[in-house]
Amino acid sequence: MIKSLVGGIVAATAFVMLSSSALAEAEIVKGPSAEPDCFAPWAADTQFFKFPKKEGPYRIALANGYIANTWRIQMVQTAKAYAAQPEVAAKLKEFKVVSTGEDVPAQISAINNFIDSGYDAIVVNAQNPTAFGPVIKRAKEAGVVLVAFDNILDTKDAINVNVDQKGLGELWANWLIKHIPNGGKILEVRGVAGTSVDTDRHNGIHEVLDASGKKWEVTEVIGKWDDGVAQKASADAIATNGPFDGVTGQGGDTGIVQAMIDAKHPFVPFGGETENGFRKFCAKFAA
């Protein structure tokens, strides 16, 4: 697995790998990666793939799942903008994007279709980390470069590019412990159920809270990293289980704060994402 030290390199990942790419299974080699300043090994046993060289132009696909929040929309638009740059477009025969929502079989079917259609590489933001085994095998056998990012895949047969999602959960929980030293009631607003990011962040939060020796009562709701969904879920939680001593949100944090404002809930320690609207709220209401 490869750990990205820099965000926003979704499409670049596939293009970098394709400069020496597919039509046969990858060879496992020692590192470093093609861009060691950008991609660092996740662990000492991280594998590196070397693909047989293939001349372009290339056909590359982005198989996205969930699309109904601003980050996903921005991600797709960023990928398209990257692909449209003249120096990148010159290397592309086609750049295709599909978003299949939360339907895991539909996303798997889309990837299978890209393999059958002869695409050189497929970038995937996976709805489930464990459900893609057969299609990963097909991509490997076909020599298709498969790159998972953000919500990655539990496999050593594809390239995984990510940040330390569990570490983010740990960071938020440590923030809460620091500012709520005696424990208390926490509202946890999670992401999209079944994804690796949601699971990793959730596990990071709870491992740190559980190890603190303090008593925590955590109310979990699903916010899908979306302002509107998170706002409604938070409003319902405040009405039924509030008030809370602290909040942690994986995304949609602007909506969470708006729910607190609407309910006249006091501002409390909040470990959350670095979304623009959330940061504006932090600046506006800073003590």
pTM of the model: 0.87
Whole-angstrom distance, CA of residue 65 vs CA of residue 111 = 11
Tokens 């602290």 sit on residue: 246
Q: Name residue 3's amino acid.
A: K
Q: What is the pLDDT of residue 2?
A: 36
Q: Is 251:71 a contact under the CB 8 Å cutoff?
A: yes
Q: Name residue 197's amino acid.
A: V
Phi, psi of 154 (to 5 degrees): -80, 80
Phi, psi of 220 (to 5 degrees): -100, 135
Whole-angstrom distance, CA of residue 76 vs CA of residue 72 = 6
Domains and CATH numbers, the chain: 2-162 (3.40.50.2300), 165-284 (3.40.50.2300)
Q: For 131-177, write each residue's pLDDT tens digit.
A: 999 999 999 999 999 999 999 999 989 999 999 999 999 999 999 99
Whole-angstrom distance, CA of residue 26 vs CA of residue 147 = 13
Q: For 12-44, write each residue's pLDDT tens digit.
A: 333 444 444 445 678 888 878 778 888 888 888
Phi, psi of 28 (to 5 degrees): -85, 125
Q: Is 66:72 a contact under the CB 8 Å cutoff?
A: yes
Q: For 165-209, write each residue's pLDDT tens digit.
A: 999 999 999 999 999 999 999 999 999 999 999 999 999 999 999
Q: For 196-244, write each residue's pLDDT tens digit.
A: 999 999 999 999 999 999 999 999 999 999 999 999 999 999 999 999 9
User: In sequence order, what E strands does 205-257 have?
Assistant: 216-222, 246-249
Q: What is the pLDDT of residue 24?
A: 63
Whole-angstrom distance, CA of residue 149 vs CA of residue 241 = 35
Cβ count near 44 (within 10 Å): 5
Q: For residues 186-219, b (16+ Cβ closer than 10 Å) or e, as one string?
A: bbbbbbbebbbbbbbbbebbbebbeebeeebebb
Token pair recorded at residue 35: 């861009």
Which residues lie closer than 8 Å to 185 by C-beta, 6 or more apart? 216, 217, 218, 219, 241, 242, 243, 244, 245, 246
Whole-angstrom distance, CA of residue 39 vs CA of residue 131 = 26
Q: Name residue 164's amino acid.
A: D
